[in-house]
Amino acid sequence: MALPSYAGPLETTWYYGFRVLCALIFIFLIAPILVIIPLSFNVEPYFTFTQGMLALDPDAYSMRWYKDFINNTQWTHSIKNSFIIAIFSTILATTFGTIAALGLSRAHMPFRSLAMGMLISPMIVPIIISAAGMYFFYSNIGLDQTYFGIILAHTALGTPFVVITVTATLVGFDHSLSRASASLGADPTRTFFKVVMPLILPGVISGGLFAFITSFDEVVVVLFLSGFEQRTIPLQMWAGLREQISPTILAVATILVIISIALLTTLELLRRRSERLRGMSPG
């Protein structure tokens, strides 16, 4: 919004001061992340800017660490594990979370607040406590150091995000559409897939993307539950920092930042689409 022509000195000061403050906060949050991007192109095996980099010498920059990432079997195995675990846990979390949200949206559901609190508890409980509990539980039933155990653990962590986003979408849902579908002879399954799902799909996809990001970036639970074969990218980065510091970690971090930006951009586009479907002005 442009500054009105009738704005006085106080309004003008607040107008520009607020924007400067927002810019400073944005720089404070984003600068530590952006620093790793140029460092990932450092030709030397250091985590600091060399004199050549500061002088913008082309010889000081290289794709060396990206090539090391591609050619290193441990890194490629870890990223394959991350995608496998994240994809399957996202499918389960999206399915369970959508079903739970549909149930919670019913006004006549008993103990709805209690059920909602239990479903979102993995977001509230410190992750180290959840990880320790999952370790003792899964080790007793033989699911520790297995892909299936990690997928189930990440499903539990991602489901709350799906529940919240789908529940928020259902707040503006017109349930008379479901009743109209039933009055025209459609069974509940057909009503869900033809009427309900198209309208709540942006919320379902948004929740699924949040679940995917949660699984892809998670390290504490994997640290407790995984063996060597189940190492994911975050755990491989953690191990790399402890065992052998290499700028390959910065190259991987840069790739993860790009993936996260792409997913967040998708979320924003879905949010705008959801607002248009509700007849709201996206912004």
Give pLDDT tens digits for 169-207.
Answer: 887 777 778 778 888 888 888 888 888 888 888 888 888
What pLDDT is attached to residue 280?
Answer: 57
- The secondary element (H helix, E strand) that includes residue 257 is helix 248-277
What pLDDT is attached to residue 159?
Answer: 92
Q: Is the per-residue pLDDT at 243 higher than 70?
A: no
Q: Is the per-residue pLDDT at 130 higher than 70?
A: yes
What pLDDT is attached to residue 15?
Answer: 81
Residue 182 to residue 161: CA distance in whole angstroms:
30
More confident residue, 273 or 117: 117
Q: Is the per-residue pLDDT at 8 higher than 90?
A: no
State the pLDDT confidence band at 92, using cuts at 50, 70 and 90: very high
Nearest to 216, CA basis, from 237, 196, 195, 245: 237
Instruction: Show the tokens assigned to 76.
Output: 């490629």
What pLDDT is attached to residue 281?
Answer: 54
Q: What distance lies between CA 195 and its chain's CA centroid? A: 28
What pLDDT is attached to residue 88?
Answer: 95
* CATH code of the domain made up of 73-245: 1.10.3720.10
How many distinct helices (H) and strands (E) make up the chain?
14, 0
Give pLDDT tens digits for 40-69.
Answer: 888 888 777 888 888 888 888 888 888 888
Length of the chain: 283
State the pLDDT confidence band at 217, using cuts at 50, 70 and 90: confident
For the beta carbon of residue 263, count every other beta carbon within 10 angstroms: 15
State the pLDDT confidence band at 124, using cuts at 50, 70 and 90: confident
Domain regions of the chain by residue span: 9-60, 73-245
State the pLDDT confidence band at 148, using cuts at 50, 70 and 90: very high
Instruction: Show the tokens assigned to 212.
Output: 């995917």
